Structures are given as structure tokens and as C-alpha cells.
Structure 1
Amino acid sequence: MEGTVDGFRYGVVTPVAAYLMACLGGALGLRCIVRTLLSHESWKPGWLALGAASIGCGIWTMHFIAMIGFQVVETRIRYDVGLTVLSLAVAIVVVGIGVFIVGYRGASTLNLSFAGVITGLGVAAMHYLGMAALHLNGTIHYDPAIVALSVVIAIVAATAALWAAVTIRGFLTSLGASLIMGVAVTGMHYTGMSAVSVHVHSRLGGSWAGDSPTSLLLPMLLGPAIFLLLAGVVVMFDPLLVLGDGDWNRRPASAARTAPQSDSLFEDQEKKASREDQERRVVQARAPQDPHWAAPRGPQR
């Protein structure tokens, strides 16, 4: 029989929490990518890796927080630990490929499109791999058209996020981009979940083996959540990441103003030395002819 699928078991709590985690991961990831663009002296591989891990952890955490609110009324749900962890690795690695493409090859239209497709497919793969980790007393079916739509949303969201990372430099504008990215990623998740239908094997499945989703997911969510908090600390302690301007790579304005003055001072000193040298030659030329002539003294200091 067809199971009763409910993706909002706890009301708006899980969607809002999932959205906030997606925004946090996106914001940290975008700032880390911008960091490599603002300062050529920064350690680019490290910042790009931190950005990819932040975005990947944010997406993965968003997915499984949302899944805490997912239930099939007629059967209990459990998760395969191996596939759940593998979905996290896929999210970080594939997002990292897209981030490194943009970080090293530039933000041309071709590079952004290629990186966006790879990253979007990685986000979709993480989602459906996470769904494959779900076990219940029934069979999960998907609507192909809605699945395709969710993949398109993932690709568009990933491309927009990478474009924002290389185009938007200011802190507030990056924050706004991360909020939009959170909407897109969370929308992709719930679009994919709307494609789900479950055929329950028997009515006896209500007591089918398996712990509650929270007994597994909550402990597993602690690691990525702590990582995101630590990444946030790294970002907040780097002034360039917070301010988001490129002034650190340019000569300070005060130095620019004093440079012409310093140059003119050197020119004046050279002219003065030249005049003193000419006077010295005159003194040397007149001294043998006029023994009573006294050499002029230099300026009193």
C-alpha cells in the first residue's frame, strides 16, 4: 500500500534550521573564496579547501536537518551510517572541484558554467545518496520529472554561488548572496523530496527494526556543525575577510600622498648639493689669486 509521507513532522522548525545551516555554510564558503581574490599573498589552496568544506558541510547539514522532519507514518525509518558519511564526502569533494576550477582558472563564462554543472551535480548526488541511506519497510519511488527539476535547480544554485564568490566582494553583499544561495539549496532539497512516494510492504512495518532518525542524525550532525562554527571563528578573526575590500593589496593613501613630497625633497637636495659644489669650485679657483679672500661659510644649522 501507499505510505503517508510527511516532510514537516516538526512544522517549520526543521526547514528554518536547515535553511540557516545552508546560509551559514554558503556565507563562510563565499568569504573564503573571496579571500583568495583580495590578497595574492594568501595561501590559496588552504582558503579554497576551507571554502569548499564549508559549503559542502552546510549543504549536507541542511539536508539531514531537514530529514529529521521526514517521516512515513506507516513505518519507522533508519539510516545506513556508511552511505550517510559517504554523502558528506561527496558533497565536500565535488564542491571542491568546482571551487578550485574557479579559483585557479578564473571566472570566465566557460569556467563558471563547467564548475557550476559539476558542483550542481555533486549537490544532487549528495542529496540522492543521502536518500539511498534511508531504510524503511517499503520501497521508495521518485517522479523522474521532479528529480530532473531538482537537479536543474542544484546546477543553477551552484553556478550562481560561484559567480557571486568571484564577483561580489563586499561583506554585506556576500551575506545577501548567501541568503539567496540558502533559498536555492533548500528549495532544491524540498523539490527533490516532493518527488518521493513510498510503497509500504505491510501494515506491520510500524514496529520495524530501526532507531529513530534523531538517534543517529543528531550525533552525526555535531561534527559538521562544530566545523562550521570553527570556520566561522577563522573568518571573524581575519579582518580582510570581514571587511571584504582590496585596500590591503594597494599602497596606503598616506604613502601615496607622501611619495611625491619625498621625491621633490630628494630633487631639492640634489640641486642644493650641485650649487654647493659649484661654489666650492669657485672658492678653489679664487683662493690662489686672492690670499686675503675668505671662503664663505655654509648655512648655519
Structure 2
Amino acid sequence: MGHLDHAALGWLTPVLSYAMACTGAALGLRCTVRALGATGRSRRNWLLTAASAIGTGIWTMHFVAMLGFRASGTDIRYDVPLTLTSLLVAVIVVCAGVFAVGYGRDRGRALLLGGLTTGLGVASMHYLGMAAVRLHGDVSYDPMLVGLSVLIAVAAATAALWAALNIKSPVAVTLASLIMGAAVSSMHYTGMLAVSVRVTPSSESLSGATAMQFIFPLAVGLGSYLFLTSAFVALSPTAGEREASASAQQPVESAAR
């Protein structure tokens, strides 16, 4: 058995990946709150932003955490198409979950359906990401821990969507996103505990890209996207603020006439 290290870079990757998960969650919840207060195209756009934020947040969390993943006796490479597919899966499935909640007639059913879809999506993103790992040897999983990680993913997703439906205040959104970040991180590390690697030392070169060649620049790019979108959302006026400024301008116009 190869010795596995999940934090080869020390506390940097767990802390950074947690921060990424929280940022994505906070932005996603904020956008969902805004979507529920909007209609038509505006609602759809807010929901799309929410899904892309949560999806990229979860994906970035996973792969930033993976930067600290090492197995003794073998190099690790990542299959590029499969890694990108896992990002698409994350965003598309979260999208389905968020839209189920955004357009659901029956709140309770929408929540269960959305939570289940999103949770299974997060889990499939995680294991697709793991399938993209190339190393000298065989990777096997403990089915109990895999099952537990999927349960954590579904519970985390349902809780996050419930928060999006029921939470309006910025303080509560922040709290909910910290909890969601912790849930996503615990799902990731539970999934990683399920992994065992039987290393077969070999001098052959592995296919795929190293984490620094591929994962690192992509994570930086997506991280920047999250922060820029957060800034944009924080600065754009809410429906209530828009109404207030519109009603403030009307008397001025009538006075000018």
C-alpha cells in the first residue's frame, strides 16, 4: 500500500480550499436570495450566477485540496478532459438543483428534489475528479466511506438550498455559507479517506498534466472569477433599493416640471 498524504503542503490547502467553498456558497446563496426577489429574465440570470458560483466554489475546493494530495512511490497526474468534465458536471447539476428551488411550486418537494440532485452532483463531481487522477498503481475505495461522503453531500446541498429559501439577512447568509463550506470540505475529506492506493513502482511516464501545470492555474482563474462576481453582486442594488431610488427621483422630476 502506498502511504497517502492529504495535506502535503501543510495547512495551506485545507484552509484555502475551505475559503473557496465558503466564498462560492456565500455568493451562490446571495444570488439565490436575489433571484427569489426577481422575476422573468432577471430571476433566470441570478439563478445561473448562483449555480455557477456554487459549482465553481465546490470544484475549486476539491482541486485546491487535491494540490496537497501525494502518494509515496508514485507521481500524480491529472487527466485534463476528465477534470474539465467534472467542473461541467458540478455547474450543470447545481444549476438543476437551484432551478428546481427557484421555480418549484411546492417548496418542500422542490427542496428535497433540489437537494438530492445537487448533492449527488457534488458527489459525482468529486469521484469524477478522482477518476481523473493518474498514478502508478491501483486506486480502491472503502464503500462505507464513499456512501457516507455521498450522504454528507446530499445533506449539505439540501441545507444550503433551504438556507437560500429561508435566509435573507447578510449575517445569516455568512453563517450558512461557513456551514456549507465545512460540509463540502468534510464531504471531500471523507471521500479522500475512502481512497487507498496500491502503488506499483514504474519508471514509465504518466499521461496527463501535473497539478501545478493545470489545476493550479485553473483554480486561480476560477477563484478570481468568484471574487470578481462577489464584488459585482455586493455592489449591484437590490430590488428594494432600486424602488427606493426610483420613488426618490419621481418627486424631483415632477418638481422640475
Query: Could you tell me the TM-score, scaled by structure 2's length?
Result: 0.90
Instruction: Report the CA distance shift for 1:228/1:86 in structure 2 as closer, same or farther (over 3 A).
Output: same
Tell me if the contact between 2:134 and 2:206 (Cα under 8 Å) persists in the aligned partners. no
Give the drift of 1:63.
Answer: 0.3
Q: Is 1:75 matched with 2:74?
A: yes
After superposition, give the CA deviation of every residue in 1:116-142 in whole Å (9 maximum; x if it has no partner). Answer: 000000000000000000000011000
Give the drift of 1:76.
Answer: 0.3
In the alignment, the residues of structure 2 paired with residue 104 and residue 235 of structure 1 have an alpha-carbon distance, to the nearest angstrom, of 21
| 1:165 match | 164
| 1:234 match | 232
| 1:264 match | none
After superposition, give the CA deviation of every residue in 1:56-75 in whole Å (9 maximum; x if it has no partner). Answer: 00000000000000000110
| 1:262 match | none
- Could you tell me the percent identity over the aligned residues? 49
| 2:251 match | none
Q: Is 1:108 matched with 2:107?
A: yes
Instruction: Report the CA distance shift for 1:237/1:41 in structure 2 as closer, same or farther (over 3 A).
Output: farther
- What 5-or-longer segments of structure 1 have no aligned partner? 241-245, 256-301
| 2:92 match | 93
In the alignment, the residues of structure 1 paired with residue 20 and residue 80 of structure 2 have an alpha-carbon distance, to the nearest angstrom, of 21
| 1:43 match | 42
In the alignment, the residues of structure 2 paired with residue 247 and residue 237 of structure 1 have an alpha-carbon distance, to the nearest angstrom, of 14
In the alignment, the residues of structure 2 paired with residue 97 and residue 23 of structure 1 have an alpha-carbon distance, to the nearest angstrom, of 20
Counting only pairs closer than 5 Å after superposition, residues 94-243 of structure 1 correspond to structure 2 as 94-106=93-105, 108-202=107-201, 204=202, 208-209=205-206, 212-240=210-238
Give the drift of 1:153.
Answer: 0.1
Tell me if the contact between 1:21 and 1:61 (Cα under 8 Å) persists in the aligned partners. yes
Give the drift of 1:225.
Answer: 1.6
In the alignment, the residues of structure 2 paired with residue 52 and residue 41 of structure 1 have an alpha-carbon distance, to the nearest angstrom, of 17
| 1:270 match | none
Aligned residue for 1:9, secondary structure, equals: coil
| 2:252 match | none
- Structure 2 counterpart of 1:84, which letter? T
In the alignment, the residues of structure 2 paired with residue 231 and residue 250 of structure 1 have an alpha-carbon distance, to the nearest angstrom, of 23
Tell me if the contact between 2:78 and 2:210 (Cα under 8 Å) persists in the aligned partners. no
In the alignment, the residues of structure 1 paired with residue 56 and residue 178 of structure 2 have an alpha-carbon distance, to the nearest angstrom, of 16
Give the drift of 1:107.
Answer: 6.0
Aligned residue for 1:139, secondary structure, equals: strand
Aligned residue for 2:73, secondary structure, equals: coil
| 1:296 match | none
Give the drift of 1:32.
Answer: 0.4
In the alignment, the residues of structure 2 paired with residue 152 and residue 39 of structure 1 have an alpha-carbon distance, to the nearest angstrom, of 32
The runs of 4+ residues in structure 1 deviating greater than 3 Å are 39-42, 207-212, 246-252
Aligned residue pairs total 246
Query: Could you tell me the TM-score, scaled by structure 1's length?
Result: 0.77
In the alignment, the residues of structure 1 paired with residue 79 and residue 210 of structure 2 have an alpha-carbon distance, to the nearest angstrom, of 12
In the alignment, the residues of structure 1 paired with residue 241 and residue 218 of structure 2 have an alpha-carbon distance, to the nearest angstrom, of 40
After superposition, give the CA deviation of every residue in 1:240-269 in whole Å (9 maximum; x if it has no partner). Answer: 2xxxxx7558889x99xxxxxxxxxxxxxx
After superposition, give the CA deviation of every residue in 1:9-50 in whole Å (9 maximum; x if it has no partner). Answer: 011110000000000000000000000223447701100000
Tell me if the contact between 1:36 and 1:42 (Cα under 8 Å) persists in the aligned partners. no
Aligned residue for 1:193, secondary structure, equals: helix
In the alignment, the residues of structure 2 paired with residue 115 and residue 249 of structure 1 have an alpha-carbon distance, to the nearest angstrom, of 30
Instruction: Report the CA distance shift for 1:34/1:109 in structure 2 as closer, same or farther (over 3 A).
Output: same
| 1:243 match | none
